[in-house]
């Protein structure tokens, strides 16, 4: 993967960006990490009696559809009949995936950090801010990671950007970063007060926290 964000497009919806970020990997992705049903990296892998592994939620949905339609319970990959719906958690695989995800997120966060400066192209900055939103929404613990990495200060600095799109997304990102995290609220609040004198708020053109950009 390249050392900068792909600025070829800037998807408008958060769901589109989440789809993109799920597929941005610094380290190579292994086939064993991917659920045959969802085609996405598994978070809660379980193994059936025949040794096939799936995302728990996906295989549970498959079994439910089989029962409701009156079909035989079969493995969706082999299409062979199963004797039971017993699912065994694959802890070793889950731990490996979590370690892989942590390494990738750390590398991607560092990439985002390098893009959060006033000299970066607008699209690159917007993508970096969206990525910060993405990881904060994936896990509450990631909000602590963002704070520890000093990214809150960098996001606040983006409110000084000459681009209204960047200012809007920076404010939106701050809202997500502080939501449900009192420590982040305190840090962000202090940084905003220090960085912006009251008279600056009279001229800066950014929407309120609850508004959409």
Digitized pLDDT (tens) for each residue of the chain, 213 residues in all: 444 444 444 444 444 444 445 555 567 889 999 999 999 999 999 999 999 999 999 999 999 999 999 999 999 999 999 999 999 999 999 999 999 988 888 888 888 888 888 788 999 999 999 999 988 888 888 888 888 888 888 998 898 888 999 999 998 998 898 888 888 788 877 777 666 655 445 444 445 444 555
pTM higher than 0.85, yes or no?
A: no
How far is the C-alpha of 58 from the C-alpha of 120, rounded, in Å? 40
- Say which residue the tokens 């690159």 belong to: 124
Structural domains present in the chain: 31-93 (3.30.40.10), 116-201 (no CATH)
pLDDT given at position 31: 93
Contacts made by residues 148-151, CB under 8 angstroms, sequence distance 24+? 149/109, 149/113, 150/113, 151/109, 151/112, 151/113, 151/116, 151/177
The predicted-structure confidence for 79-121, as pLDDT tens digits, reads as follows 999 999 999 999 999 999 999 988 888 888 888 888 888 788 9
Tokens of 33: 């990490």
pLDDT given at position 12: 45
pLDDT given at position 1: 40
How far is the C-alpha of 191 from the C-alpha of 21, rounded, in Å? 28
pLDDT given at position 107: 82
């Amino acid at each position: 993967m390249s050392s900068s964000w792909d600025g070829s497009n800037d998807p408008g919806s958060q769901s589109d960006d989440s789809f993109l970020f799920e597929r941005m990997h610094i380290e190579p992705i292994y086939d064993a990490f991917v659920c045959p049903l969802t085609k996405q990296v598994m978070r809660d892998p379980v193994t059936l009696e025949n040794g096939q592994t799936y995302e728990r939620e996906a295989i549970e949905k498959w079994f439910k559809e089989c029962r409701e339609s009156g079909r035989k319970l079969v493995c969706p990959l082999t299409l062979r009949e199963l004797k039971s719906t017993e699912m065994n958690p694959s802890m070793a695989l889950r731990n490996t995936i979590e370690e892989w995800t942590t390494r990738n997120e750390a590398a991607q966060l560092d990439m985002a950090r390098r893009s959060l400066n006033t000299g970066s192209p607008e699209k690159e900055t917007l993508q970096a801010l969206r990525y910060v939103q993405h990881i904060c929404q994936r896990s509450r613990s990631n909000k602590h990671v963002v704070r520890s990495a000093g990214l809150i200060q960098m996001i606040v600095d983006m409110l000084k950007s000459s681009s209204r799109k960047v200012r809007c997304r920076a404010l939106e990102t701050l809202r997500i970063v502080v939501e449900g995290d009192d420590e982040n609220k305190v840090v962000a609040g202090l940084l905003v007060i220090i960085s912006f004198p009251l008279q600056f708020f009279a001229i800066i053109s950014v929407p309120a926290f609850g508004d959409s950009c």
